[in-house]
């Protein structure tokens, strides 16, 4: 039985290794390691032209929208806060196109940190641009460049609630958060200060966003659940998978991906 193929979105950033310092498509190795440990095969999806997303996603069994830079406030009709980072529009456009193609085919999707925020914005929701202004503390991002633990409590009756019932510690590093929910999304977890820490779709079989970083725990129930859902995509209906991939290769217009102009 083949292992499911999971696509992970990446940064485009200047990086240094050995004698080299060059622009690179990169991602922390923990994302790859945790998915491999849970039984998945991994491919990296660096930013590309949005119209390429349909063909790329047709070859996948699941998608992970990874963490990273702040989502462009223009996408949810807001002016940038002084603490909001510079926009990375190429990544925003690409990841929204990948997400749209994945949703159209009901692929399993996991959004991590920025990925969860992008999911919410794509569904028409908005973001809090600097969380300390709202909650009065820096507990969600106390030290730059380091993950910090804090407690989240999941909502009974949600997918996240079933995977992680009650209250537990998660690894976090974020200064933004979901404000208003997008269409078709429900809250799956909150922090003690009320911050939304997980969302999920009530229109798809597995579309989950978490504000924390499950890749930092190799036994994460969330990661294993994604891989299990991806395995269903890969193995339960091979005829549908083959048809989906054939349509993409032939240039089918069945999936229309549109993103706002920057």
As beta bridge partners, residue 25 has 12
Query: For this structure, is 215 an active site residue?
Result: yes
Q: In degrees rounded to 5, what are phi and psi of residue 27? A: -160, 140
Query: For this structure, is 143 an active site residue?
Result: no
187 or 248, higher pLDDT: 187
Do residues 29 and 37 make contact, with C-beta atoms less than 8 angstroms apart?
no
Residue-range domain boundaries for the chain: 5-249
Query: Choosing from 34, 105, 113, 175, which is the catalytic residue?
Result: 113
Task: Determine the average pLDDT of the residues in 60-74.
Answer: 98
- pLDDT value for 217: 82
How sure is the predictor about 234, in pLDDT bands with cuts at 50, 70 and 90?
confident
Spatial distance between the Cα atoms of 218 and 248, rounded to a whole number of angstroms: 33
Query: Choosing from 105, 122, 140, 213, which is the catalytic residue?
Result: 213
Do residues 91 and 68 make contact, with C-beta atoms less than 8 angstroms apart?
yes
Do residues 120 and 201 make contact, with C-beta atoms less than 8 angstroms apart?
no
> Is the pLDDT score of 60 beyond 60?
yes
How sure is the predictor about 62, in pLDDT bands with cuts at 50, 70 and 90?
very high
Query: For this structure, is 213 an active site residue?
Result: yes
5-249: CATH number: 3.40.50.880
- pLDDT value for 235: 74
Do residues 84 and 73 make contact, with C-beta atoms less than 8 angstroms apart?
yes
- pLDDT value for 253: 43
Task: Determine the average pLDDT of the residues in 158-179.
Answer: 96
Residue-wise pLDDT for 35-54, tens only, equals: 999 999 999 999 999 999 99
Pairing of strands 127-128, 177-178: antiparallel
């Amino acid at each position: 039985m083949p292992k499911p193929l999971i696509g992970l979105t990446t940064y485009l950033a200047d990086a240094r290794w050995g004698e080299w310092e060059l622009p690179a498509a990169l991602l922390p190795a923990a994302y790859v390691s945790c998915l491999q440990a849970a039984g998945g095969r991994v491919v990296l999806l660096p930013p590309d032209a949005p119209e390429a997303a349909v063909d790329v996603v047709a070859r996948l069994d699941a998608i992970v929208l990874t963490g990273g830079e702040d989502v462009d406030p223009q996408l949810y009709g807001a002016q940038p806060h002084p603490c909001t980072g510079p926009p990375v529009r190429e990544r925003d456009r690409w990841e929204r196109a990948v997400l749209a193609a994945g949703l159209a085919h009901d692929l399993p999707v996991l959004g991590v940190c920025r990925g969860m925020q992008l999911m919410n914005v794509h569904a028409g929701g908005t973001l809090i641009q600097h969380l300390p202004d709202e909650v009065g503390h820096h507990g969600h991002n106390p030290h730059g460049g380091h993950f910090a633990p804090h407690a989240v409590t999941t909502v009974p009756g949600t997918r996240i609630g079933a995977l992680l019932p009650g209250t537990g510690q998660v690894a976090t590093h974020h200064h933004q958060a979901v404000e208003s929910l997008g269409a078709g999304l429900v809250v799956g977890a909150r922090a003690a200060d009320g911050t939304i820490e997980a969302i999920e779709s009530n229109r798809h079989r597995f579309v989950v966003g978490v504000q924390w970083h499950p890749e930092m725990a190799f036994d994460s129930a969330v990661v294993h659940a994604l891989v299990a859902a991806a395995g269903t995509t890969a193995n339960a209906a091979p005829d549908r998978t083959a048809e989906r991939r054939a349509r993409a290769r032939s240039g089918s217009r069945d999936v229309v991906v549109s993103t706002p102009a920057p």
